[in-house]
Amino acid sequence: MPMLIVKLAFRNILRNRRRSLLTLLSMGGGFFLLCLTLSMSEGSYSNIINIFTQDHTGHVQIHKENYLERPSLYKTINHADEIIMQLAQHPLVLGVAPRIYSPSLAYGKQKTFPAQVIGIDPKREARTTRLEKKVKQGHYLINPRIKETHQPVYFPAMIGFSLAKNLQLSVGDELVLISQGIDGSIANDIFEVVAIVGDASSYERMNVYISLSAMRAFLSMPDDSSKVHELALILSNQNKAREFAANTQSRFNNKDLSVDPWQVVESSFYKSMQADKKGSYVSMGIIIFIVSIGVLNTILMGTLERTREFGVLKAIGTRPLAVFTLIMLESFVLAMISCLIGLVLALPICFWLASVGISMPEPIDMGGIIFDTMLGEVSWFVVLLPSIVVISSTLMVSFIPAIRAAKISPLKALQAV
Amino acid sequence: MWKFILPLLFSFILYLPSYSCFADNDAATLLKKMDELFRSNSSISLMKMQIITPNWQRTLAMKSWTIGMDDTFIRVLSPRKDRGVATLKKDKEMWNFFPKINKVIKVPPSMMMGSWMGSDFTNDDLVREVSLVEEYQVSKSIEGDNYRLILVPKEETVTVWGKIEFIVNQKTLLPLEQSYYNEKGAKVRTMVFSNIKDFSGKKMPAVMTMIPLNKTGHKTIIEYVEAEFDVDLGDNVFTLRNLQTRF
């Protein structure tokens, strides 16, 4: 009996080829449309996330517990070198950048401005974030040579665009920084400006970058202890950030350190992005609705046309349940085939969007980070969601005609035109 | 006859409390002594400052020159990193000098209550901008072997303290403890004086320990190593030029 119904269903589909083809096209088109929209929206978001996280945040950050809520000079990660070596061996990790932060007062030619001084490992930082590419004037920081002579050689420093402008400094000038040392003394030193980074709206605009060793000397931190405030990690895929952070946290086995994905570190950015995403889900919902209406139309027409057929089936003694199953099965098979067709059409375009993308005539500036191409994305989500939408909406809209056909009396059905 | 004398005697007893005005004068003299204890008319002293916090601790050696209540000059001698850092206070103004960056930075009045060189002493403590006798109303009571001086700021006094208390030994007339209260009457910090020594003929406590009560684990100890009083300092000490001198 079940085999008979399957056989019947396929026969019905193949019998009226033109009708089946039209149904397939309508549903496949819906799939195609949904798949492309999803690919574009997911792609743009992950593109924004990639650009954003590679700007300065990284995908995962490690701090001393509570550092993010209440930063303090004394909340340091001890033995950072060991942790870096350990993390760098992980296959997912592309780069680890240690950082020391110290809010300071910067003196230029005449004026004074507050500045965030960040001690970095120039090589590791370049592998983790785009800092090196943001150098507008001068050259990127190199690890300072060990002072051989007793002549005062100033440590090199890179300063943010706005800070340089406010302090009226250019490459080659002297920059004076005053801050609080880790031993309570007043940290004060002269640095040589070797580069100007970023622009008036970028994250670095009021920052000063010096090497870790310069920072340790500046803050009177003992050189050997390898203490830092922050480790920023870049992974091969930003989707893995949460999972990696949770795994690393449990692997560390150290309650003092907290490992956070960028979603936690940049929670305000993440939240506004989530809100934006919700907005785009509304338009996605509208597209899904239109696709389901199309499916409803074709399926409904298909069953109404065949009212007499169902009448004959009932007249020769087919049970209502069998009629119902037959119609549902037909719809399901049609939905599956249309998904396949849609997939075959959509995948090459998705792949093209993911690799090349559509370049925007006018780049969008989001908090100093510039987005100039719309990129697509190919993922299970992009493929599976449209399939589920098409198949489930097909089954849902087939439900009513199928019940009608199952309940119809043979006499009435045979009288219908 | 007794009818006359008794009321007289009685009124005399009644007026006895007004005798405390003599006592208050006495208290004021005592307070003046406190004011001048470490300074006299002029002084040159060598001191050590040990700062202890939960995160770090360090010791500074420094030399200070003072004239009266107005002028102070302090120069840090060690550690090497901070050698040459100097502070000058003249009248109501105060400057810091950092030899490494060759900069004189004026301390704004708003920073007077800020920490000096990371210690628990404020800039204000160090240069003692206010004279206690001039700025505070003082009363005295006796407690065992000690006097207790209670200082309440006068109406026109600008200060953050609601009350200052001194405990002074009756015999030596040297302070044992000084407590600072905020406007709500809560004790904020205590300075303990100990280790009385003879400095060129003048007896004074050589060690002062400042303990802030709102910061657990913080403590600053100042120890006078040498002190000379009433020396002629000349005119060159309290100048911005001297502040910037490298030595």
Q: What is the mean pLDDT of residues B178-196?
A: 90
Say if strands A207-211 and A112-120 run parallel, antiparallel, or are unpaired: parallel
Distance CA(A137)–CA(A124), nearest Å, equals 21
Looking at the domain assignment, is residue B73 inside a domain?
Answer: yes
Report the pLDDT averaged over residues A294-303. Answer: 78
B85 CB near a chain A CB, below 8 Å? yes
Does the residue B60 lie in any domain? yes
pTM of the model: 0.74
Polymer length of chain B: 247
> What pLDDT score was predicted for residue A368?
60
Tell me how far CA of residue A91 lies from CA of A73, A85, A114, A232, A234, in angstroms: 32, 12, 40, 16, 11
Closest residue in A to B86 (Cα) is A186
B41-61 residue pLDDT tens? 888 999 999 999 888 888 999
Domain that residue B113 falls in: 21-243
Break chain A into its structural domains and give their ranges.
Answer: 2-53+270-415, 72-228
Residue B3: inside a domain, yes or no?
no
| Segment B18-30 mean pLDDT | 60
**pLDDT at residue B105 greater than cutoff 60:** yes
Using CA atoms, how far residue A6 sits from A18, A64, A329, A387, A393, in Å, is: 20, 63, 7, 22, 21
Query: What percent of chain A has a predicted confidence (pLDDT) above 70?
Result: 95
Q: Which residue of B has its CA nearest to A178?
A: B101
Cβ of B58 and A182 within 8 Å? no
Q: Could you give the number of structural domains in chain B?
A: 1
Amino acid letter at A174? E
Query: Which residues of A touch chain B, with CB atoms under 8 Å apart?
Result: 74, 107, 176, 178, 180-186, 188-190, 220
DSSP state of A57: I
Is position B79 within any domain?
yes
Q: What φ, ψ does residue A316 adopt, rounded to 5°?
A: -90, 10
Rg, C-alpha atoms of chain B: 21
Structure ipTM: 0.72
Neighbours of A125 (CB within 10 A): 25
Q: Is A375 helix (H, G, I), strand (E, B) or coil?
A: coil
- Amino acid B17: pLDDT: 43
Mutation target among A177, A186, A219 for the B interface, most CBs of B within 10 A: A186
Mean model confidence pLDDT for chain A: 85
Q: In chain B, what percentage of residues exceed pLDDT 70?
A: 88
Most B-contacting residue of A107, A173, A176, A185 (CB-CB within 10 A), to test interface: A185
Single-letter residue type at B47: M
Distance CA A189, CA B102 (A): 9
| B129 domain-assigned | yes
Distance of alpha carbon A383 from alpha carbon A351, whole angstroms: 12
Q: Does B58 touch chain A (CB under 8 A)?
A: yes
* pLDDT tens-digit series, residues A17-72: 888 888 888 888 888 988 888 888 888 888 888 888 888 889 999 999 888 888 88
**A326-384, pLDDT tens digit by residue?**
889 988 998 999 999 999 999 999 989 888 888 877 777 665 667 777 788 888 888 89
**SS3 of B101, please?**
coil
> Which CATH number goes with the domain that contains B109?
2.50.20.10
Residue in B with minimal Cα distance to A74: B55
Q: Which residues in chain A have their CB less than 8 angstroms from residue B85's CB?
A: 186
Q: Could A184 and B58 be called an inter-chain contact, meaning their C-beta atoms sit closer than 8 Å?
A: yes
Confirm whether B4 is domain-assigned: no
Q: What is the 3-state secondary structure of A239-288? A: HHHHHHHHHHHHHHCCCCEEEEEHHHHCHHHHHHHHHHHHHHHHHHHHHH
Q: Are A190 and B101 within 8 A, CB to CB?
A: yes
Digit-coded pLDDT (tens) for B123-180: 877 766 567 788 888 888 888 888 888 888 888 877 788 888 989 888 888 889 999 9
Nearest CA in chain B to A175: B101
Interchain proximity A186–B98, CB inside 8 Å: yes
Q: Give me the sign of the Cα torsion angle A174, A175, A178, A183.
A: negative
Q: Compare all CA atoms of chain B with the CA of A112 and give the residue at the minimum distance.
A: B105
Contact B101, B76 (CB under 8 A): no
Q: What pLDDT score was predicted for residue B228?
A: 87
Rounded Cα distance, B48 and B79, in Å = 11
Confidence (pLDDT) at B221: 93
Q: CB distance B58–A185 less than 8 Å?
A: yes
**Residue B6 resides in a domain:** no
